[in-house]
Every structure is written in structure tokens, then in C-alpha cells.
Structure 1
Amino acid sequence: MGYVVDDMMGFGPLERLLADDDVSDILVNGPQKVYVERGGKLELTDVSFRDDQHVMNIASRIVSAAGRRVDESTPLVDTRLADGSRINVTIPPLAVDGPTITIRKFPKEDLTLADLASRNTLSPQMAELLRIAAYLRLNILFSGGTGAGKTTMLNAVSREIPANERIVTIEDAAELRLQQPHVVRLETRPPTLEGTGEITMRHLFRNALRMRPDRIIIGEVRSDEALDMLQAMNTGHDGSMSTLHANTPREALTRMENLIAMSGVQLSTDFVRDQLKEALHLVVQISRMHDGVRRVTSIAEVVGMEGNTISMQELFVFKRANGRVGEDIVGEFQSTRTMPHFIDRAKEHGLDEAIRDILVGNG
């Protein structure tokens, strides 16, 4: 009986997957191909739809709940449910083999840095360093692949921002869960069917600068708003944070350069790199490894220029002891025992000894 009600009123076969707290992602590739991610690993489920039209009906119901529609004129919809879960629906002719539904479920729990340390995502020492970095208003970029846990990490670090600061968040789909009392959340708007009314990340960023923010947090830098963020970081908005798709800290900086080039503003490479060097303090690299565990593989500091290349130094790294596919990964988080350049800023707050203890005393 429950299945009939779900099919008539709810999201059909997906209802029990949406209710399963162990499921983080739901991937519908076709009527008989419904996958989920549990514990960082994909698996095929026994959930099925009757046919493509059944998938289409449920997809339409999902996007309708978010005030959107999917049809031949709008064959691709990116939106979110009321609980914050991210939804992507793609239908023919864009999806060649039939309609697809991708759901990134919104986690019910608010993880702290201590929670992530207990899950072996990072060490307690790394967590303490990031806690201090947030307090010191360092500009932090969280880098990693899809599903690596960048937003989760940003949320955890953002909890360390003092409660008396005004924070403006900018996102394509609202995922950030800041705990502070003074938060203004902004979200982009897609164009209408007539192609008008679009509000981009760049529009929102420029508006945010007029809202007297103490910090600006961008859910993900993915286009020309990178230039605006860079300028904001260099003009008094310290403590800003964002995420970025990249596989290494060095690649993250290169990707930032490329995104800034997309802005259409003619800037020399040397100027952009000099601005990046001044703006960014830390790049936190996160990876989802083949054993399903998400780990911080590097915390790297941007320290200056060597010739025309931005120089970086790692403060923490994850050293793998083994790495065969199919086996649990064994390794340890290690301090490089290198003193960061922001030690002087820490000294102003009486935190320089704490940083020395983190990197050397407990390294």
C-alpha cells in the first residue's frame, strides 16, 4: 500500500532511498538502473521504475516541488528540494538513453571539525590548525573532486567564525549550513523560459560587497566570479572561503587563473598571480579515496613568488602506507614541521605558540 501512495503522492520508488540516512547520493540512469552511494561507494539497488515514462513522471513531480518544470523546452533542470538536497534532471534529447535523475542528499547532521577528525578525515592537529586559521581570518580555498567533501569541510571550518561577524554566502544551490546568528544567504536564479531574469554568481558577488559583509563565503567558484572574489579578498574582506574543483593545491591555483581569464578583463598573467599570492592563504585539498573515506591529503600555504611562479609550502600531508584497490587505505597525517608565514598574524592574537605546538610539538 505504501508503494502505491508513494507513487501517487510522493517521489515513487525513490521515497525509501530518500528516507535512508545512509544514502548520500541517488543516481537514476534508467528504469532498471538506480544506484546509490553509501559510505563513499556506489552500489546498484533493487529499486526500479516501470519504464522511461515512469521515471519522467517522478522527475516532473520532483522539479515541480521546487517550482520548476522539465520538458522539451527545458530538458535540463538543476534545483533543490525544500530540505536542501540538490537535484539534477536531464531528459531527451540531451539524455540520449532516457531521462536521468541525480540527487545529492542534504546531510541531516552538522559535522564539526572534531567529528571529521573522529572519522579520520583529518587529524586533530590539522583540525586545530584550521580552527585557528578561521579565527585569524585567513582566506581559505577548499579543493577537491566531485563528492570529495569540500562543502562538508567548509561548513565545519565556518563554525569557527566568531558569532559577532556578518557573513554573506553566495551559492548556485544553497548547501552551506552556517551556525552564526548574522548570516545572509544569497542564491543564483536561472533565466526564465524567455531567456531573461538570470542572476549569476557574479551579480550576487557585486551585490554582496554593498551589504557590509565581514566575510563572504562562495559555495563554489566555477566561473568569472573568481575575479571579483580575488579583488574582494585583496580589499579588506579577509576570512573569505570557497570551494573549487581541482586535484592538487597547485592545480587549484592554476584553475583560479583560468577562471579569472574567463572574466573578459584583460589582465597579465604576472598581475593575476601576484593578486592570487596576496589574496589566498591556505589551500585545503580533500580526496575521496577508493576505500570510500574522504581525507584531507594536504594543507598548503601560499607563501609568495619565485620568479613568475606562485610558491607554496605544505603544512600537513597524508602519507599512504599502502594503496591497493579493494583494500582499506593505511596511512597517517603528518606535519611537515614547517612554520607558516601567517605565524606573525597568529602572534598578534597570542596564538603563535599554539601553532608551534600543533606543527612541531605534536607533529
Structure 2
Amino acid sequence: MRPVRPVQVDAPSPRVAAANAVAEATKIRLHELLIEELEHGALEGLAPEQQREAVIKAARELLVQEGLQLGGVPRDELLEAVADEALGLGPLEPLLRDPSISEVMVNDIDKVYFEREGRIFRSPVRFRDKQHVMRIIERIVAPLGRRIDESSPMVDARLPDGSRVNITIPPASPKAPTITIRKFRADKMRMADLIAVGALSEQTAEFLAMCVRAHLNIIVSGGTGTGKTTLLNALSAFIPNTERIITIEDPAELRLQQDHVITLEARPASIEGKNQIKQRDLVRNCLRMRPDRIIVGEVRGEEAFDMLQAMNTGHDGSISTIHANNPREALSRLENMVLMAGMDLPSRAIREQIASAIHIFIQLSRLQDGSRKVTHVTEVSGMEGDTITLQDIFLFKLDRVDEDGKVHGSMRPTGIRPGFAHKFAIAGIELPSSLFGTGEGW
């Protein structure tokens, strides 16, 4: 599948570059003066909006007092940039404020990219130097109680607004420090929104809603950035409000709409290497908390064994996500993760556990035009010898790719009725045969 290539931006003309240099010098000087002006706790106790107003007011006064040049940049724009530098993440703030941007990536001081609607663009913003990048990195990690230096050159954390951030510095990234921020979406997409953007069909969504209500164990699989957590949030809306839900994540991203929700979050080890809380510990603990539903944000290690055990011992209706390129690969990854738990079990025993625990895989893919779509809804139908058998219930069928590279296609039923239909009958859910079509489209 063709990768989504970044869109380049043209370099500024010498005249514009000179004006930008003047504006940058003014911004640096204003920032230095503001540090002196506001150093005695003048902003303490103020709300973020009030802090910003105070900084902009002080910067405006200093601009007049010092007679600083604007370099052709509008005054308000310069003042906003100074406030971003003093209170936020500097040149990244405009990108973080833009609701249409889903991810921000800093590769070097002058190589900043962002993702919008599945496509990657190069931003004109830049840092002054590598020390400027490091200052922003320190501003990110300091409030989180995390450390980043040569002995610990990587940090994976969550910003106060819920956005995920990954940072690497030399020697882990020898050329330059890097920052990757996956923005937290406050208005989580519901199933109707996913249907509207073409991520799946109404028919498929109706079936998945029935699967959640019937307490089927579901694994959402897909690559990085395909929308696994988004779909998991949408699926959770079909869980009745009367059930007790426990979520286990690293880091916490889910925002469920039900009242009776308990959130458990894994924690990395401290600087001294102590007080780590693993996802496996949380899965084990939640079994003692009387859950009706267990939702594991992402299975990535030894906790897979305990999750399968829970699914096989009366905790039906569990949902989780896993990184995989297709349902068959997701099975292999689950088997490998169970082995990571140190259980000396034969492969057949592990596969039997998986086959009896999981009812359905939902595969998400990011297509060549950047769109994210459900491509498989696949039933785990049992075992044949030592092999787990799968059968597709819905599949994405590609119709064409137009001249602009946009993918056209739709989710269609294969005509196969799932073998777990009795689960719907037990839950009092009528499963119409018309939902599965005849499979003639294939």
C-alpha cells in the first residue's frame, strides 16, 4: 500500500527571512524581559486564561517601553507567540490549538510536521536551535515528574489534556531531539460519526452493536494511528448503563459515557526503578473488583494471558485492542504475548485458550489516501487440528482509486452467518438473516 507522503512547504524569500529574523529577535528579548517582570509569582493562582491575558498585557507594555521592532509581523501575532513561549510549548502551540490537526511531529529544529485528515504536511514553524527544543521538552516533562537526560533519553507520557507525547533525545536520536504528540480528541467520535466519514457501513455498525450487547469478547486490531481507540470508544457506547465497567490502560485515553466506570492506569517505574504498576497487575486486580465488563485499552505484553483467563472464566463482553496488520497476525501476536508471561504451555493449549476466549476480531487499516476504515469483521470459529480457524463476516471491498488517489469502496457481508448466533438468542437479541446478505458481491 502506497505510504502517505508529507506535503512540502516552500522556503521563505530572503526578504521574508530577514523580517522573520527581526521578529524572532524581538520575541527572544520580550521573553527575557517577561521573565524578569513576572518572576515573583505574579501568575500564581490565576486561571490559564488569566495568565495568558497578564502575559500579553505585560508584553504589550514592554514592547512600547523598549521600542522594539516588529519586523513586519503583526503586533497581535507577535504577542501571541511570546505568550506561547512563556506559558506553553512555544512554536508548537498554534498546531496544538488547531482542532483539525491530530498529530504533531518534531524531527529537527526546522522539520516540524503535522497530520490532518490522515495526510502529513510540513509546517513552516521552526525552533531557534536545539537548546530551544530541549527547553520545550523540559517544560513538557517537568510537570509530569519525569526525567530525560543522556542516561534516560526516552520518555513516553501523557500531557494534562490527555494527549500522548513521546520524546527522544541524543544518544537515542543522535541527529536531534524529537517530539511526537498525538492529540487528545475531546469530542470522541460516536458510531454515527464513523459511519458518516465512511469508516464502516451502517450494516456493519448494527452487527457490532449487537455483538457488544450480547457480551461477545472483541479484539480491535490495527496498525499505529488506524483509529483503534476511537472505535473502542464508539463500541463502548453500546454497553448498558447498568453494568460495572473497569478500564485498564497505559496511558488512560478512553472516555466512556456510562456512569459506573472505574479507570485503572499503568505506571512506569520511578527514577530509582521502583513503584512500577504493570498492566498485568491491574488485570489481575480488577478480577477482584466485581467487573461486568473489562476493557483493556491495548494488550501489548504478558497481561494477554490474564485477559484470556478472565474471558474464559465468566467475564464475557470484554473488549481490547492489539497492534496487528490482519486478524491472522493478531492471533499470532496474542500467542507470543501469552508466552511472554512465562507460562510453559504447549502451543496447542495456548491456541485453545485463544479460540475459546475470543469471538470476533475487528480489523482497522489506514488506506493509501489516509482514510481509516474497518476492513475485516472476522469470527474465531474454532480449531482444526492445531490451527485456529477464522471466517470473515464482513469485508471491505475496494471498488476503485480515483485520479486524486482517493479510495472508493465499502464494507460488505460475505454471506456467512456467524457460528455464535446462539449468544444473541441467550441475550434476547434477534439477529436478522438479512444483515448478512447473500455474499453475491464477492
Give deviations 1:108-131, integer Å, cap 9, x for gaps.
212111110111000000000110
| Match in the other structure for 2:92 | 14
CA distance in 2, matches of 1:284, 1:325: 30
CA distance in 1, matches of 2:134, 2:204: 46
% identical equivalent positions: 52
Q: Is the 8 A contact 1:290 1:325 kept in 2?
A: no
Q: Is the 8 A contact 2:214 2:429 kept in 1?
A: no
| Match in the other structure for 2:30 | none
Amino acid at match of 2:435: I
| Match in the other structure for 2:252 | 174
| Match in the other structure for 1:226 | 304
Give unmatched runs, 5+ long, in structure 1: none
Give deviations 1:222-262, integer Å, cap 9, x for gaps.
11110010000000110101110100111101110011111
CA distance in 2, matches of 1:324, 1:193: 53
Offset, 1:72: 2.6
Give deviations 1:190-233, integer Å, cap 9, x for gaps.
11111111111111111111111111111111111100100000
CA distance in 1, matches of 2:275, 2:397: 49
Correspondent of 1:193 among 261, 271, 276:
271
Distance change >3 Å, CA 351–CA 280, structure 1 → 2:
same
Matched, 1:142 2:223: no
| Match in the other structure for 2:182 | 104
Match runs of 1:1-363 below 5 Å? 1-323=79-401, 327-354=405-432, 356-360=433-437
CA distance in 1, matches of 2:418, 2:315: 21
Offset, 1:347: 1.8
Give deviations 1:266-322, integer Å, cap 9, x for gaps.
011110111111000010000011111100000000011111100111010001123
Offset, 1:328: 0.6
Offset, 1:325: 9.2
CA distance in 2, matches of 1:9, 1:118: 38
Amino acid at match of 2:109: P
Offset, 1:324: 7.6
Offset, 1:323: 4.5
Give deviations 1:44-82, integer Å, cap 9, x for gaps.
110110011101100110122333232233321111111
Offset, 1:145: 0.4
Distance change >3 Å, CA 353–CA 199, structure 1 → 2:
closer
Q: Which has the larger radius of gyration?
A: 2
Q: Normalized against structure 2, the TM-score is what?
A: 0.80
Q: Is the 8 A contact 1:343 1:352 kept in 2?
A: no
Secondary structure at the counterpart of residue 317 of structure 1? strand
CA distance in 2, matches of 1:350, 1:133: 12
Q: Normalized against structure 1, the TM-score is what?
A: 0.97
Greater helix share, structure number: 2
Q: Is the 8 A contact 2:156 2:166 kept in 1?
A: yes
CA distance in 1, matches of 2:241, 2:141: 35
CA distance in 2, matches of 1:72, 1:91: 8
Q: Is the 8 A contact 1:148 1:288 kept in 2?
A: yes
CA distance in 1, matches of 2:421, 2:103: 40
Secondary structure at the counterpart of residue 164 of structure 1? coil
Q: Is the 8 A contact 1:88 1:101 kept in 2?
A: yes
Distance change >3 Å, CA 249–CA 97, structure 1 → 2:
same
Amino acid at match of 2:270: T
Q: Is the 8 A contact 2:421 2:431 kept in 1?
A: no
CA distance in 1, matches of 2:97, 2:208: 33
CA distance in 1, matches of 2:84, 2:235: 38
| Match in the other structure for 2:65 | none
Aligned residues: 362
**Deviating more after overlay: 276-285 vs 331-340:** 331-340
Give unmatched runs, 5+ long, in structure 2: 1-78
Secondary structure at the counterpart of residue 322 of structure 1? strand
Q: Is the 8 A contact 1:30 1:98 kept in 2?
A: yes
Q: Is the 8 A contact 1:344 1:352 kept in 2?
A: no
Amino acid at match of 2:170: P
Secondary structure at the counterpart of residue 299 of structure 2? coil
Moved over 4 A (4+): 323-326
